[in-house]
Amino acid sequence: MFRRKGVLAVVTAGVLSAALAACSGGSTATPEPAASGTDAYAGRSITALVAAAGAGSKAQYDEYYKTLSDEFTKATGATVNFQFYSGGAQQNTIVQTSLVSGSGPDVIGYGSSVGGTLAATKGFVTLSAEDWKRVGGREAWNDSTLSASGAGADNSIGIPSFSVPFVIAYNKEYFEKAGISAPPKTWDEWITTAKKVQDANPGVYGAGFDPADPLDPWKFVWSYTHQLGGAMVSEDGKDAQLSTDEVKKATDFYFSQFYEHKIVPPESLSWNSAQMLSAFTSGQVAMLPIATRGTLSAAKGTPVEGKIDFAQLPSVPEGMTERPEGGTPAASIVSGQFWAVFKYAEKNKDLALELAKVSNNDVVIQKQYELLGWAPTTKDGIEKLSKSHPESRPFLEIQANMEATEFSPAWTQIQTGLSVTVNKVAENLATSGQWNEGFLNEQLSNADQAVQSALK
């Protein structure tokens, strides 16, 4: 699973001024594009800052980045060096230090939710129409994917590289025993399906959840909020909206799986994502609300190997037959990697654009999927992978319904606020044994105030 452990802190006013001064440092001209083909940029090199491998996937990461490096050199004659960061804190330190000093990596591969924070530093190149043309044109991507590139076509900083969409995973065998022929498409169906599975498979719970995890729960609350027509900040980006009815309803529904519908295990209030996944692969729960293709790897050698299928997240809120006005499917956040060029490295923008282009070529796309389960982001790449790997289609079809998280400099506070709220509510529910709506409202109000302070 491609998980960004933390997001970049907003550069303070003083640091930002220094960063901009370091970035401007005169008018360094961008080299004219070299002729395409091998040795077009021979003798030159760039450095790309990217996330380090997660636990157990270093060999796959190494092979992927070797493939990307080889393809880059084959296309340009230049070389690329990869600098890895482990977690958001280290990413934050490297980026801030680089912006202040005016030197460091040329390009960063950033996680989709970090884009608003990076853009707020003013330390990254705004992509021109010509820049987009050199990597295949904006029309090569779905609008849903490009929504994480920047605040509109004229203010984009990121070029999509790969995608890691989130889907639901379910146990086909349990569904068959319960006489269920299709995965749920609404949240009412989610509850009904889970209860039917429990009745037909004694000892099995219909669903899993992980409210103690630092990353998974906010994605659930975020999607459900957007399906209700809500958002985490106002449309103009000036006002926090974490204490709205939509966010409250989303969080309430998340926990109602435990305190009302009783479709998740009693002990799951303290679960993190690894524990939820373990419960699924051992056959203890029938559905996962947050899953990736990596679930198949985790299932190898377990009782559920060969029994797993995937589907899009239900997209109609509980008690409704269709989404309310303004509601969107929000089937998954736009999750994956985007390339952004540091302004101080604009002299190497031509090579950075070549790297972005190569990262979307056929060889790299096939390799990233086979090694890590990462999906392509271009329309052409999606079509080709669906033909060469038909089993990838659930992860590809979802891309048109993916939605970017709010492109806001306060995203750190938004994500942290939602995560901490869910974590604390779970602790309170486990301790008291009772659902406390007042406690939820208090936690969301605190989170809302923190976001509002960051927006000022």
Asked whether residue 292 falls in the same domain as residue 415, the answer is yes
Q: List pLDDT tens digits, range 212-242.
A: 998 899 999 999 999 999 999 999 999 999 9
pLDDT at 132 over 90: yes
Q: List pLDDT tens digits, range 254-282.
A: 999 999 999 999 999 999 999 999 999 99
CB 191 within 8 A of CB 249: no
398 band by pLDDT with thresholds 50, 70 and 90 = confident
Asked whether residue 155 falls in the same domain as residue 171, the answer is no
The answer to whether residue 28 is domain-embedded is yes
Question: Which structural domain range is residue 102 located in?
Answer: 13-164+335-403
The answer to whether residue 2 is domain-embedded is no
* CA atoms of 26 and 292, how far apart (whole Å): 46
The answer to whether residue 38 is domain-embedded is yes
Asked whether residue 380 falls in the same domain as residue 319, the answer is no
Tokens of residue 337, six digits: 């990697």
Asked whether residue 294 falls in the same domain as residue 425, the answer is yes
The answer to whether residue 6 is domain-embedded is no
Residue-wise burial string across 9-19, b where 16 or more C-beta atoms lie within 10 A, e elsewhere = bbbeeebbebb
Query: Who wins on pLDDT, 68 or 405?
Result: 68
Q: List pLDDT tens digits, range 339-394.
A: 999 999 999 999 999 999 999 999 999 999 999 989 999 999 999 999 999 988 88
Asked whether residue 259 falls in the same domain as residue 189, the answer is yes
Q: For position 37, what pLDDT does the model report?
A: 55
Q: What is the amino acid identity at position 179?
A: G
The answer to whether residue 309 is domain-embedded is yes
Asked whether residue 184 falls in the same domain as residue 325, the answer is yes
pLDDT at 298 over 90: no
Asked whether residue 383 falls in the same domain as residue 424, the answer is no
Q: What is the amino acid identity at position 273?
A: S
Compute φ and ψ for 303, nearest 5 degrees: -60, -15
The answer to whether residue 1 is domain-embedded is no
CB 210 within 8 A of CB 312: no
Asked whether residue 131 falls in the same domain as residue 160, the answer is yes
Domain boundary among 381, 403, 425: 403
Parallel, antiparallel, or unpaired: how do β-strands 308-311 and 167-171 relate? antiparallel
pLDDT at 24 over 70: no
The answer to whether residue 7 is domain-embedded is no
Spatial CB neighbours of 167, under 8 Å, sequence gap ≥ 6:
291, 292, 310, 311, 312, 313, 331, 332, 394, 395, 398
297 band by pLDDT with thresholds 50, 70 and 90 = confident
156 band by pLDDT with thresholds 50, 70 and 90 = very high
pLDDT at 10 over 70: no
Give the count of domains, the chain.
Answer: 2
Tokens of residue 361, six digits: 């070529």
CA distances from 18 to 15, 58, 97 (A): 5, 36, 11
Question: What is the 3-state secondary structure of 212-263?
Answer: CCCCHHHHHHHHHHHHCCCCCECCCCCCECCCCHHHHHHHHHHHHHHHCCCC
Q: For position 117, what pLDDT does the model report?
A: 86
- CATH code for the domain in which residue 230 is found: 3.40.190.10
Q: For position 8, what pLDDT does the model report?
A: 40
Asked whether residue 241 falls in the same domain as residue 146, the answer is no
pLDDT at 400 over 60: yes
Query: Who wins on pLDDT, 83 or 394?
Result: 83
Asked whether residue 287 falls in the same domain as residue 345, the answer is no
pLDDT at 329 over 60: yes
The answer to whether residue 179 is domain-embedded is yes
Asked whether residue 260 falls in the same domain as residue 188, the answer is yes
Count CA atoms within 13 Å of residue 104 on its CB side: 25
Q: For position 135, what pLDDT does the model report?
A: 97
pLDDT at 28 over 90: no
Asked whether residue 296 falls in the same domain as residue 208, the answer is yes
Domain boundary among 403, 429, 447: 403
Q: Is 83 helix (H, G, I), strand (E, B) or coil?
A: strand
Q: For position 38, what pLDDT does the model report?
A: 56
